[in-house]
């Protein structure tokens, strides 16, 4: 059974710091990996989708990498801002678009 | 473009009542997903449809749960009878194809008293 773990569970940083969120998964036979953010009381917003043939994806200040062989993905956020405060979720996609979600990292960026 | 639309946003009802949650996927998307989010278990996939056909319902917790997709623009998730442990946020998501991201609605916060 696929298990997805995110470390740390919570992170508090001052504005301007660069930070890394980690995601690990037990079964490397995945199609894709997707990173989301979730604001309180809201749904999930897709940030980046990395296909299994890719090693990384970038969007603005966000960069996500994928190492299938080691079962790891990282989300790098450059020059963090208070508006980045949210819960970040990674999800692996294994067969027919079936998402298995990680436990989430709650990020707080203080001004 | 309108995103995934769910209704109602909040639902409070008594144990034993029937609950129906509704979802309108993004136009042109052919896959639709229902998820449940709780503090204890996080986000779990309940069921998903491809071209209106249920593909995998292994995440549906019990026979009290049922889902339908009568056409490409509408899906329902029904709980009958409801129980307090069904209290959660239920999300609907849709996507256009295998290697495209899933887009989520804002969810229905369900409370069963």
The pLDDT of residue B101 is above 80: yes
B43 touches chain A (CB under 8 A): yes
Tell if the CB–CB gap between A96 and B55 is shorter than 8 Å. Answer: yes
A64 burial type by CB count under 10 A (0-12 exposed, 13-18 middle, 19+ buried):
buried
> In the predicted model, what is the mean pLDDT of residues B43-52?
93
Q: How far is A1 from chain B (nearest CA, A)?
A: 13
Cβ-based neighbours of A48, under 8 Å, separated by 6 or more? A34, A35, A57, A58, A59, A62, A64, A75
Tell if the CB–CB gap between A43 and B105 is shorter than 8 Å. Answer: yes
B99, B81 contact by CB (below 8 A): no
pLDDT in tens, A28-45: 888 789 999 999 888 899
Q: Whose CA is closest to B22, among B62, B99, B63, B74?
A: B74
The pLDDT of residue A95 is above 80: no
Q: Whose CA is closest to B102, among B6, B34, B9?
A: B34
Average pLDDT over all residues of chain A = 92
The pLDDT of residue B96 is above 70: yes
Residue B100, pLDDT score:
81
> In the predicted model, what is the mean pLDDT of residues B5-33?
96
């Amino acid at each position: 059974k696929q298990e997805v773990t995110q470390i740390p569970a919570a992170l508090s940083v001052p504005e301007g710091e660069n930070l890394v969120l980690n995601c690990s998964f037990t079964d490397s036979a995945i199609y894709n990996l997707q990173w989301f953010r979730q604001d309180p009381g809201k749904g999930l917003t897709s940030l980046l989708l990395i296909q299994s043939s890719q090693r990384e994806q970038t969007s603005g200040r966000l960069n996500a990498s994928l190492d299938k062989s080691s079962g790891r993905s990282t989300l790098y956020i450059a020059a963090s801002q208070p508006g980045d405060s949210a819960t970040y979720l990674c999800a692996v996609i294994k067969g027919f678009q079936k998402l298995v979600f990680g436990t989430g990292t709650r990020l707080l960026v203080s001004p | 473009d309108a995103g995934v639309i769910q209704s109602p946003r909040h639902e409070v009802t008594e144990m034993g009542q029937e609950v129906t949650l509704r979802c309108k996927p993004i136009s042109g998307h052919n896959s639709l997903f229902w998820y449940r989010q709780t503090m204890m278990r996080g986000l779990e996939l309940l069921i998903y449809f491809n071209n209106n056909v249920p593909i995998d319902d292994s995440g549906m917790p019990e026979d009290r749960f049922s889902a339908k997709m009568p056409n490409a623009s509408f899906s329902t998730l029904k709980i009958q009878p409801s129980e307090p442990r069904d209290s959660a946020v239920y999300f609907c998501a849709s996507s256009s194809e295998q290697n495209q991201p899933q887009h989520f609605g804002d969810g229905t916060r369900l409370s069963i008293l």
